[in-house]
Structure 1
Amino acid sequence: MDIIWLRDFEALVAQKNFSRAAEERNVSQPAFSRRIRALEDTVGVKLINRQTLPLSLTPAGEVFLSQARVMLRTFEETIERCQVIDAAGENVIRFATSQSLYMTHYKTHIAPLVEQGGLDIDLNSTSWAADQFVSALQQGYCDVILTYWHPSMDFLAPLEAAQCEYITLGRDDFIPVAKGGAEGPLFHMGKGQNKPVPLLSYGTASALRAVVDSLLRGQMDGPKILVMNRNVLAISVKAMILEGFGMGWLPRELCREELDEGRLMQIGDESFVEELEVRLYRSVENAKPTLSRLWNEIRAASG
């Protein structure tokens, strides 16, 4: 799919007329029409209802429009980031991490060393699927990934086999929590409960999904669980737990403040708690001097 076709489609939606949209895109109308047709052929459905005046979108076209705008925005942001990195040269260290780790371990463990060393960091705090972090590191899109690690996280296995090394930055408990109140937690995890416990869990794109699944498999005679919602981001799971929609597992560091204030309460016994490692990975073939310096400083601080 050509990015030009997406811009053509966006122009046509705005103008609702082939001639005006072609003029805006500085192309002849026949050529413009062929490009819109090629876009529809690629997608495999009709996007434009040509029987209405002015032109309108088909239901599929409405869906495609929102996604086309996301693709265009992502493309533009990627170009901008590449240009910034290229202009900065080899001194920039490119980090990739999840929002939950950015808000906890990155800020407490790495940011101070970055500031002390006067290093340039390109930090991509993202909602990528778990395996995209691995691909980004392997393909050189980033220099370092900061991730949780647990034996159930198979997506990290390729890094063990590849030319990659890691530092264990710290550890965090993965704990079941529920909204707190004057009478205690809103939900409980006792054995033998007849009423299912509503669970706010993680989607398949989340690294933490595998840990929740592993915990539940180990609790065959535990409480009944009813999955109410799945989300990629631990921050979003926390927000829904705070609203009282159900219970869920969170890294302790991500909800420490809410636990201290009593807005969240840990539930269940220790059999429902798993330990997570917080790891930094890099390729040993990455010879960037600034990365080597920061890596050695982090290793020394973590030792």
Structure 2
Amino acid sequence: MDIAWLRDFEALVAQKNFSRAAEERNVSQPAFSRRIRSLEEEFGVKLINRQTLPLSLTPAGEVFLAQARVMLRTYDETLERCQVIDTAGENVIRFATSQSLYMTHYKTHIAPMVEEGGLEIDLNSTGWTADQFVSALQQRYCDVILTYWHPSMDALAPLGLGNCDFITLTEDAFLPVSKNGPEGPLHTLVRGSKKPISLLSYGTVSALRSVVEFALRQHIEGPKMLVVNQSALAISVKAMIMEGFGMGWLPQELCKSEIADGRMTVVGGEEYSHTLEIRLYRDKENTKPTLNRLWRDIQAQSSESKD
């Protein structure tokens, strides 16, 4: 499929007329019509209702329009990122991390060093799955990934077996928490509950799901859990907890302000809390000078914090 066909389709939706849309796209009307038909043939559905005046979209066309705009936005953003990286060349360090780590440990540990060293960072704060982070590093789509790590995270195992270095920046507690109500937590994590406890968990694409499952496996005789929602991102789990839909596990740094001011509380005993390492990974064979400099600085800082 030609990306230009999507722009043709978008122009036709805006103009609701083949002649005006063709003029906007600077092509002849017959050529423009052929391109729209090629787009419909590519997807095997009619997108345009040609029997109405002005032209209208079929139900399939309505769905396609929303997705076409997403595809065009993604294409434009990708093109812009590639051009920035190509222009900067070896000076840019391509960083990938999750939204929760970007909001917490990246800003605390990495951002100050980047600013102090005058380094150029192409930061991709993304909702990738755990295995996508691994493949992105292995395929050099990024130079560094910042990730949570726990022994139960099988999706990150290839990094340990592959040609990768890592630095443990710090640790974070993974806590079972609930929203507080006027009389205490809305949901608890105790044995003997007469009804299942509502759990807000993580989807299969999230590496944190395996840590939740690990925490629950340690207490086979523990309370019965009812998973009421699964989210890919810790930020989404936090939002659902704050709406009172259930309890769930969150990294402490992501909810420390809510715990401190009493909007959220830790439920269950210490046996339900687990430790997450905050790790940076890079390919050992990536010899980008700016990356080597940042890596040495982070290693030095990490060593000082442990002394």
Provide TM-score, normalisation by structure 1. 0.93
| Corresponding position of 1:74 | 74
| Corresponding position of 2:221 | 221
Give a deviation string over 1:225-257, Cα, whole Å, max 9, x none: 222222222112212211212211100111111
| Corresponding position of 1:46 | 46
| Corresponding position of 1:153 | 153
| Corresponding position of 2:96 | 96
Moved more, 73-82 or 133-142: 133-142
| Corresponding position of 2:170 | 170
Is contact 1:95-1:124 (8 Å) kept? Answer: yes
Distance of aligned partners of 1:116 and 1:181 in 2 relative to their CA distance in 1, 3 Å threshold: same
Q: d(CA) in 2 for partners of 1:246 and 1:104?
A: 23
Is contact 1:148-1:276 (8 Å) kept? Answer: yes
Q: d(CA) in 1 for partners of 2:47 and 2:155?
A: 37
Is contact 1:152-1:210 (8 Å) kept? Answer: yes
| Corresponding position of 1:253 | 253
Q: d(CA) in 2 for partners of 1:241 and 1:87?
A: 43
SS at match of 1:46: coil
Query: C-alpha displacement at 1:116, in angstroms?
Result: 2.1
| Paired residue type of 2:73 | R
Give a deviation string over 1:249-292, Cα, whole Å, max 9, x none: 10011111111111110111233222211110101111111111
| Corresponding position of 1:291 | 291
Query: C-alpha displacement at 1:189, in angstroms?
Result: 1.0
> Following superposition of structure 1 onto structure 2, how do residues 246-285 of structure 1 map, counting pairs within 5 Å?
246-285=246-285
Q: d(CA) in 1 for partners of 2:18 and 2:202?
A: 44
Query: C-alpha displacement at 1:216, in angstroms?
Result: 3.3
- Does 1:63 find its partner at 2:81? no
| Corresponding position of 1:19 | 19
Q: d(CA) in 2 for partners of 1:214 and 1:44?
A: 46
| Paired residue type of 1:166 | F
Q: d(CA) in 1 for partners of 2:226 and 2:41?
A: 42
Is contact 1:144-1:280 (8 Å) kept? Answer: yes
Q: d(CA) in 2 for partners of 1:88 and 1:107?
A: 23
Give a deviation string over 1:174-196, Cα, whole Å, max 9, x none: 11100013421110111121222
Q: d(CA) in 2 for partners of 1:231 and 1:189?
A: 20
- Does 1:3 find its partner at 2:3? yes
Which runs of 5 or more structure 2 residues have no equivalent in the other structure?
none
| Corresponding position of 1:192 | 192
| Corresponding position of 1:108 | 108
Q: d(CA) in 1 for partners of 2:48 and 2:123?
A: 39
Q: d(CA) in 2 for partners of 1:46 and 1:70?
A: 20
Q: CA RMSD in A?
A: 1.7
| Corresponding position of 2:84 | 84
| Corresponding position of 1:140 | 140
Query: C-alpha displacement at 1:214, in angstroms?
Result: 2.9
Q: d(CA) in 2 for partners of 1:65 and 1:129?
A: 26
Distance of aligned partners of 1:282 and 1:17 in 2 relative to their CA distance in 1, 3 Å threshold: same
| Corresponding position of 1:36 | 36
Query: C-alpha displacement at 1:100, in angstroms?
Result: 0.7
Which runs of 5 or more structure 1 residues have no equivalent in the other structure?
none
Q: d(CA) in 2 for partners of 1:219 and 1:28?
A: 70
Is contact 1:181-1:262 (8 Å) kept? Answer: no
Query: C-alpha displacement at 1:60, in angstroms?
Result: 2.3
Q: d(CA) in 1 for partners of 2:20 and 2:170?
A: 59
Percent sequence identity over aligned pairs? 74
Q: d(CA) in 2 for partners of 1:194 and 1:49?
A: 57
| Paired residue type of 1:208 | L
Distance of aligned partners of 1:211 and 1:40 in 2 relative to their CA distance in 1, 3 Å threshold: farther
Q: d(CA) in 1 for partners of 2:155 and 2:2?
A: 31
Is contact 1:98-1:147 (8 Å) kept? Answer: yes
Q: d(CA) in 1 for partners of 2:167 and 2:95?
A: 14
In the alignment of these two chains, the number of paired residues is 303
